[in-house]
Amino acid sequence: MQAISVTTSDVDEARAVLGDHFYSNTVDVLSPGTWKAGFDIAHSGLVTFGDLHFGIDVRMSFGELGAYHVDVPLSGELAWRQGGGAPLVATTASAAVFQPVGDTVLERWSGDCRLLAVKIDRVALEEELSRMIDGPVRSPVRLGRELDISGGLGAAWARLARMLAVDATEQHGLVRHPLLGRQLRESLIGGLLLAASHNYRDALENRRPGMAAPRAVRRAAEAMRAEPGRSFTVADLARIASVSPRSLQDGFQRYLNTSPMAYLREIRLSLVHDELRRSAPCDSTVTEIAYRCGFVHLGRFAALYRSRYGVSPSETLRG
């Protein structure tokens, strides 16, 4: 997807642009006066960058984001809260860190606040963490709500994010390169995991030395992510990865602590969850969404979904 640059004084247009590239939202202007918002947005694989400002105080409300997200103020302040947490204020010294779950509200995005927004796919972050700790990620990653960007690793990560955000707007930038781009995105995600506090910190600091997942495992994983609704078999994935089925299964078990089919199932569950949250009951059904994402046995799907998310698929759709 090409990078975009938008300036507007229309609230509905601003809301639509941010909804198309980040999350569905509502926007309330909090102070009178003329204003002009500016959005420079670029996508790079499973990471989205946005250099954003409104030029006037606004309040924004979202549902669950479905992705990890960091807002780095480049000027001004951002008052925010998520889920049942207490309100916090992000500044040029402390970035706001959002989880995939929990209703999100930007209580006051000040008119002088220009921020760098970084949206990171949930599964991509979990996969990078799995590689870094050389083990499975068995429970959701709970990142700390604030990231100190005044110095140390936090400041280094913010500098990297700003550099990649600028590069992503260039048609021939390095972050868009089919080979190097992936490495840069992985560095960004891995850097966040090193800089932020989270519930896998001990495992990360005490990780066993080991190899990154071999190319065959990565190739099979990328194929599943590219076509999650396809009826893959282990033999199909082994042909794509140019290894034997047994070798592929052994590789997934060794490096990701799961099987290829279980890995595919988790990708599909995540897709269904995201689509159910975005859909309205009058427009879609659980059955349609489940089939589209590759689930054929609906009873088994419903049980897997409830086990993963703690609610039924229909509850998510109604919510």
**217 and 316 fall within a common domain:** yes
136 and 239 housed in the same domain: no
Instruction: Say whether both 193 and 264 belong to one domain.
Output: no
Query: Tell me: the pLDDT tens digits for 5-51?
Result: 999 999 999 999 999 999 999 999 998 888 999 999 999 889 999 99
Task: At 119, list the tokens.
Answer: 């949206």
For residue 295, what is the domain's CATH number? 1.10.10.60
Provide the domain limits for residue 89.
4-121
> What is the per-residue pLDDT for 106?
97
Check whether residue 45 and residue 136 sit in a common domain: no
> What SS3 class is residue 191?
helix
* Same domain, yes or no: 188 and 276: no
The rounded mean pLDDT for the chain is: 90
Q: Do 190 and 138 belong together in one domain? A: yes
CA dihedral 4, 44, 270, 294 (to 10 degrees): 90
Verify that 99 and 157 share a domain, yes or no: no
* 125 Cβ contact partners less than 8 Å away, ≥ 6 residues apart: 68, 141, 189, 192, 193
pLDDT at 213: 59
Same domain, 194 and 235: no
Per-residue pLDDT, 1: 58
Cβ proximity of 59 and 81 under 8 Å? no
Rounded to whole angstroms, how far apart are CA atoms 132 and 195?
13
In whole angstroms, give the CA distance from residue 198 to residue 38.
33
Q: Which of 43, 44, 10, 42 is nearest to 27 (CA)?
A: 10
Please indicate, yes or no, whether residues 265 and 319 belong to a single structural domain of this protein.
yes
* Residue ranges in 206-285 assigned as alpha helix (H): 215-226, 234-241, 245-256, 260-278
Q: Which domain-ending residue is among 205, 232, 255? A: 205
Domain boundary among 151, 183, 205: 205
Residue 257 sits in the same domain as residue 304? yes
Q: How far apart are CA 201 and CA 297, in angstroms?
A: 38
Predicted confidence pLDDT, tens digits, the chain (319 residues):
579 999 999 999 999 999 999 999 999 999 888 899 999 999 988 999 999 999 999 999 999 999 999 999 999 999 999 998 789 999 999 999 999 999 999 999 999 999 999 999 999 999 899 878 877 888 899 999 999 999 999 999 999 999 999 999 988 888 888 778 888 999 999 999 999 999 998 888 765 444 445 788 888 999 998 898 898 999 999 999 888 888 888 888 887 788 999 999 999 998 898 888 888 888 889 889 988 888 988 888 999 888 888 889 988 888 7
CATH number for position 32: 2.60.120.10
Q: Where among 205, 232, 267 does a domain terminate?
A: 205
pLDDT the model gives residue 210: 40
Torsion of CA 222, 225, 228, 231, to 10 degrees: 10
Tell me how many domains the chain contains: 3
Q: Tell me: do 13 and 82 sit in the same domain.
A: yes
Q: Alpha-carbon distance 111 to 56, whole Å?
A: 4
* DSSP secondary structure of 49-91: EEEEE-SS-EEEEES--SEEEEEEEEES-EEEEETTPPPEEEB
What is the C-alpha separation between 139 and 128, in angstroms, rounded?
14
Q: Do residues 40 and 83 share a domain?
A: yes
